[in-house]
């Protein structure tokens, strides 16, 4: 059975984060780069959330990447076909490097055909 084109969405993710504490609290700065695939009908208007986890099971959860730290110009349409979207914000410092992530779409249905890859420097 063919997968409907509108359900196909591919992301290329590149993560980098700082382990330097910001001010007196224990927050770190996280930067997230997401490139949406260039396939026909690639992209989404859904709310995208992200959970980063270290080897000890500690995690940082971002419920809405766009409102948490979207850095693109005002009016930018995030997660659209071929876009490179950049996000940066603060979150609790993890005790070890990120070793897993969970990228979630706010869609009610699962996105069959979604392909996600990631790199951590």
Residue 62 near residue 53, CB atoms below 8 Å = no
Q: What is the pLDDT of residue 107?
A: 61
For 13, the enclosing helix (H) or strand (E) is strand 10-17
Q: What is the pLDDT of residue 105?
A: 84
Q: What is the pLDDT of residue 21?
A: 46
Specify the CATH number of the domain 9-119.
2.60.60
Q: What is the pLDDT of residue 19?
A: 43
Picking from 77, 72, 7, 8, the residue whose alpha carbon sits closest to that of residue 37 is 8
Q: What is the pLDDT of residue 117?
A: 58
Scanning the chain, the segments in alpha helix (DSSP H) are 65-69
Q: Per-10-residue mean pLDDT for the chain, 121 residues long?
A: 40 42 70 87 86 94 94 91 92 91 71 54 54
- The residue extents of the domains of the chain are 9-119
Sign of CA dihedral 15, 110, 71, 82: positive
């Amino acid at each position: 059975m063919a997968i409907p084109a509108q359900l196909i969405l591919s992301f290329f993710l590149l993560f980098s984060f700082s382990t330097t504490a910001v001010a007196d609290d224990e927050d770190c700065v996280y930067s997230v780069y997401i490139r949406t695939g260039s396939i026909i009908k690639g992209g989404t208007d859904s709310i995208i959330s992200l959970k980063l986890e270290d080897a000890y099971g500690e995690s940082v959860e971002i419920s809405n990447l766009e409102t948490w730290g979207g850095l693109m110009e005002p009016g930018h349409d995030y997660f659209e076909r071929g876009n490179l979207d950049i996000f940066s914000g603060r979150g609790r410092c993890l005790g070890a490097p990120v070793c897993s992530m969970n990228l979630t779409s706010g869609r009610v249905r699962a996105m069959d055909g979604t392909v996600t890859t990631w790199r951590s420097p």
